[in-house]
Amino acid sequence: MLEQNYLSGTTAVNIAGSVESALAGGKLAAGDALPTVRALSQHLRVSGATVAAAFRILQERGVIVSDGRRGTRVRPAPPLVLPFEHAVPEGVYNLVDGNPDVRLLPDLRKRRSPLAQRLYGDELNDPALLALAREQFRDDNIPADHVAIVSGALDGLERVLREHLRSGDRVAVEDPGFTGVLDLLHALALIAVPVTVDDEGLLPSELKRALRSCKTLIATPRAQNPTGAAFSARRARELRALLAARPDVLVIEDDHAGVIAGAEYRTLVAEPVERRPLRPPTSREKPAAESGRRSTLRAREKWAVVRSVSKSFGPDLRVAFLASDAQTHARVEGRQTLGIRWVSHILQRTVAMIWRDRAPLRAQRVYAERRNALLRELSARGIDAHGVSGLNVWIPVAEEIATVQELAKKGWGVKAGERYRIATPPAIRVTISTLEPRDAALFARDLAEIVRPQAGRAFTRPT
């Protein structure tokens, strides 16, 4: 019999509630292990299926995480608690923090933004910057009639969620997914419903299941963190077709990596529609009409796309662009005027000045070289890994903590995957932004000495 009495209940909902009450009362803490399904079912005198269902509820809410042989534990980042991050020891190669390579960022010391004062009542956003943002959105088939400027990707996500959702609402999210998004949902008392991803993005069957209970989806079309997944053309078509049957769903896209992602942007919020002109073009009409077709965009009813410059221009430039439907745009900008009023025009003008630099394009090429070098070296040693775009590579392992600790002994700092996962198997995340190709072979060699390669293992939900 277990030596505790803070877990109780005879139904899955009640058992899950007792775990959450124990957390709130300090009887359980982040990282604590929960009893096994068998032990808890015997203690509560209920079936194992009931306890397993309770654990599934807690996993979907992001309260607990399954960690293979280590069992089931309380997630290390409970709502409204800032997670503690261990500093990378001196002399350890930092593949942890997700930062871009500072050597590939624009040198702001060479930039002198005009410091003309602005006053209350002036325009919220810099017209030149808005024009550049709209141009880029339209190039990616994203409607750009309504664009706001916000203070980073997570700021944009939070503003949209606050305007549309209420406590207890369920949100379909990627699994594994970005810790910032999961923590944000916890802080807003929203329930994360996991949708498994592969290299091409969200699995349609998993999304269909999640949409039975969710009216909101947060997706990352490219440079997905932590797996590096990017929507293929085929997958994007499948997901748009599935979402077309659910016009009530709010779709939010997080393009946090922007132009340095290393993959084409394929959106779910709209699709091109080719229309024939009503009459044959005359000889005096513009050449565009001579093609016989005109392209428009058919957008969803409720949607938003947030695109950050943090990875390409630097995290301290707290600027991101939020394209959305008219109602969402009005709500977000209306709420901005009651709070921060506007994003600093010093930042806006600085971003506008460096926008057309070729530095982000060079960074995109360098990151792709580093990412592909690591994937090749891992593949050569029979180690399954994922990272078709972005700054991270996701490597499934049997034991996260042990792998992280052993790599640290060999001089490599990587991140355990548990804070990114809800129901998917263990893995580690490796940030490749500063990993030179010559060092990728050394890392792969050391990792191969630690883990037994598991050929063909993918980051999918266990059956």
Do 269 and 250 meet the contact criterion of CB atoms below 8 Å apart? Answer: no
12-74, what's its fold?
Arc Repressor Mutant, subunit A (1.10.10)
Tokens of 246: 């659910």
The pLDDT assigned to 6 comes to: 80
Single pTM value for the model: 0.78
- Widest CA span in the chain: 89
Q: Summarize the confidence of residues 94-120 as an average pLDDT.
A: 77
Cβ–Cβ < 8 Å for 172, 210: yes
Same fold, 12-74 and 93-102+359-450: no
pLDDT value of residue 67: 61
Mean pLDDT, residues 277-288? 44
d(CA 422, CA 123): 43
Alpha-carbon distance of 180 to 156, in angstroms, equals 12
d(Cα 381, Cα 399) in Å, to the nearest integer? 18
Q: Is 359 exposed, middle or buried (0-12, 13-18, 19+ CB in 10 A)?
A: middle
Q: How many CA atoms lie within 13 A of 238 on its CB side?
A: 14
Mean pLDDT of the chain: 85
Listed in sequence order, the residues at least 6 apart from 367 whose beta carbon sits closer than 8 Å to its beta carbon are 101, 104, 260, 262, 390, 391, 432, 433
- CATH for 108-354, options being 3.40.640.10, 3.40.50.12280, 3.40.1690.10, 3.30.428.10: 3.40.640.10
Query: CA quadruple 332, 304, 229, 168: dihedral positive or negative?
Result: positive
Nearest Cα neighbor of 74 from 186, 168, 224, 202 is: 186
Domains of the chain, by residue range, sit at 12-74, 93-102+359-450, 108-354
**93-102+359-450 CATH, one of 3.40.50.10240, 3.90.1150.10, 1.20.1280.50, 3.40.50.360:** 3.90.1150.10
Distance of CA 167 to the CA centre of its chain: 21
3-class state of residue 306 by DSSP: strand
pLDDT class for 278, splitting at 50, 70, 90?
Answer: very low
Greatest mean pLDDT among 5-19, 158-172, 421-435 lies in 421-435
Quote the distance between the C-alpha of residue 70 and its chain's center: 26
Please name the residue ranges forming H helices in 45-139. Answer: 48-60, 127-139
User: What is the structure's pLDDT at 164?
Assistant: 95
Query: For the segment 228-271, what is each residue's pLDDT rounded down to a tens digit?
Result: 999 999 999 999 999 999 999 999 999 999 989 999 999 999 98
